[in-house]
Amino acid sequence: MSDQESIDPTATDIPAASYPAMIETLASLLRRMELIESEQRQQAKSIDRTIRHFGELSARLDALHGTVLRLDAWTEMLIRDVDGARNIVIQAEHQMQQGVASINERLLDLTADIHKLHVMREAPEYKINALRSELAAVQQRLAMAETAPPAPTE
């Protein structure tokens, strides 16, 4: 038997009675193949949608990455600004403390000057009051001496 005889399509050893069962089996297989093909088309469409969705997500991710980079740069700029502002505040606090210390010194000097002026103002009054007291005492003694009887002369 040659190779040609073994694959001859006209040669059949299949009984004609099994044709309807074979046709039914082939029809079933054909329906199954069509169903599989339909599922493959749906899966291909789903894969296409997924690929498009991934593309959109990738574009969004790229946009977000750009936004993150801009926000990072902005954050670094804000940190530098805050550091600068903090340094300015520290300098201002230092200058304010120096100013307060200077004002305190001036207040102490003014208080001392006021105290000196007060002492100087009270010193003459004290002397005047002391002299008035002495004068009053002398006047009282003089008045007593005038009203007293003359002392006997010998």
Res. 36: pLDDT tops 50? yes
CA dihedral 144, 147, 152, 153 (to 10 degrees): 80
The one-letter code for the residue type at 44 is A
The model's pTM: 0.42
| Whether the Cβ atoms of residue 25 and residue 32 lie closer than 8 Å to each other | no
- The pLDDT assigned to 147 comes to 83
Expressed in angstroms, the distance from the first to the final Cα of the chain is: 203
* Structural domain spans, the chain: 18-146
- The pLDDT assigned to 9 comes to 53
Res. 106: pLDDT tops 80? yes
Res. 4: pLDDT tops 60? no
pLDDT > 70 fraction of the chain, expressed in percent and rounded: 89
